Amino acid sequence: MNKLKIFFVCILLLMASGLFLFYFFSSRVRIQYANPDTEKIRQIKMLGLALELYHKKNQKYPDTGPTCQDASVLQKYLTKEYLGGSRVFDSTGTADSLPKYSYASSNDGGHYVLKTVLRDRNNLILKNDLDGNVLGCNCDDSALCLSN
């Protein structure tokens, strides 16, 4: 009889720990991937802040020219001093292999634009961002564009 009780207690503990692990990992996945636009908005703002810090030290923004290009060109300018341990340049933005972020600067290094494409075209942040063609970046539709 004792062996049977121990067996059932072990089974109950295994089931309880399995349910706990399932709940823990599924909630983490939901939180991490529930709204990828939130992460993009956070990271593009962080890139903007890093550009402002770069400008404060160098009196200009990284000069890559007025062509909208993958923001990974900023890696040689925005070192750990500006971005810390951020992994902002690690992946592309969509299955269409568009860059996660795009960057362009004026020829004199006095202005820049950062761009990312959001999934939700009705995101409220799109009502107060830049629109039109800014330094070669198409900032219409679902594109979030920030500038200095």
- pLDDT tens-digit series, residues 60-118: 998 887 688 888 888 888 877 777 766 666 555 444 445 588 888 888 888 898 988 88
Q: How many domains does the chain have?
A: 2
Question: Mean pLDDT in the chain?
Answer: 77
Percentage of the chain lying above the pLDDT 70 cut: 80
- What is the C-alpha to C-alpha distance for residues 85 and 43, in angstroms, rounded to an integer? 12
User: How far, in Å, CA of 125 to CA of 110, rounded?
Assistant: 25
As given in the structure block, the two tokens for residue 112 are 């820049």
Q: What is the average pLDDT across 37-55?
A: 87
Contact 98, 91 (CB under 8 A): no
What was the pLDDT predicted at 136? 84
Q: Do 41 and 3 lie in a common domain?
A: no
Burial (CB < 10 A; 0-12, 13-18, 19+), residue 53, is: middle
* pLDDT of residue 145 exceeding 80: yes
134 in the same domain as 85: yes
Structure confidence at residue 28 as a pLDDT band (50, 70, 90): low
For residues 87 and 116, membership in a common domain is answered with yes
Q: What pLDDT score was predicted for residue 94?
A: 47
Same domain membership, residue 90 and residue 17: no
| Backbone phi and psi for residue 102, each to the nearest 5 degrees, phi listed first | -120, 155
Among 4-8, 33-37, 84-88, 105-109, which range has the highest average pLDDT?
Answer: 105-109
pLDDT for res 97: 45
Query: From CA 86, how far away is CA 44, in angstroms rounded?
Result: 12
Using CA atoms, how far apart are residues 47 and 74, in angstroms rounded to an integer? 9
In this structure, the answer to whether residues 39 and 72 fall within a common structural domain is: yes
Beta bridge partners of 103: 69, 114
Which of 23-27, 64-68, 88-92, 143-147 has maximum average pLDDT? 143-147
Range of the domain at 60: 35-147
* Reported pTM: 0.68
Which residue type, as a one-letter code, is found at position 37?
A: D
